[in-house]
Amino acid sequence: MVDLSDHAIIQRVLSGDVEAYARLVDRHYARCVRIAARILGNREDAEDAIQETFLRAFHALGDYEDRERFSAWLTSILVNQCRSQLARTRRREAVFPDVDPLDVDWTAGDGTGASPWPELEHALARLPADQREALVLKYADDLTYQEMARITGAGESALKMRVQRAFARLRALLREVPSV
């Protein structure tokens, strides 16, 4: 099958080929899981947010302008959905009041098994929501600070500070976790 660009697929969808949208879902789903599951801390909420994201993107496809990368545009919708989900579940400040992040299935999708960094996963899940979001966007999605600023609405310097604080907090959390 021809490997169409995101832009070409979008043009097909806009021409009425609704099934072509499945290729965009296939192409970007795993990345969305990586982002949403880390931001929200559980797969169920993440899948709800992702489903809503792809549906909203479909509805808004006519407004998408290709001067922006489709992946970044999709991520901006996803981040908004994750924030709404967090607000709905009242977990903005403490994402895991009842759920131990070590119980969340962080098994890799490539069949390589459980995470080799269980303490780190634990610490990441305990970061404040804004710091975790910044860290996820920077390292799970490889976004630039400029792209992160556009997506989150925060300034670049504020985002750099969040990432810096996230690392400081991670260090503190990792010192608290006894070695396995």
Partner 1 sequence: MSDLELERSVSAALHRDLPVDERAKARIMSRVREASHAAPRRHDFHLRRGTRHSIVGLALAAGIGSVTTLSALLPAPASADASVSSVVLGDTVVSTLRDTLRLVRLMFADPEARRVAVVGDFNGWRSDATPLVREPGTSHWSVTLALRDGQHRYAFVVDGTRWAPDPSAQRRGMDDGRVYSLLNVARATN
Least separation in angstroms between residue 158's CB and partner 1 is: 19
Least separation in angstroms between residue 100's CB and partner 1 is: 17
Q: Does 103 bind partner 1 (CB under 8 A)?
A: no
Q: What is the 3-state secondary structure (H, E, C) of 145-174?
A: HHHHHHHHCCCHHHHHHHHHHHHHHHHHHH
Q: According to CB under 8 A, which residues from 15 to 44 bind partner 1?
A: 15-19, 21-22, 25-26, 29-30, 33-34, 37-38, 43
Q: Does 135 bind partner 1 (CB under 8 A)?
A: yes
Contact residues for partner 1, defined by CB under 8 A = 13-19, 21-22, 25-26, 29-30, 33-34, 37-38, 43, 47, 50-51, 54-55, 58-59, 61-63, 105-110, 112, 115, 117, 120-121, 124, 135-136, 139-140, 167, 170-171, 174
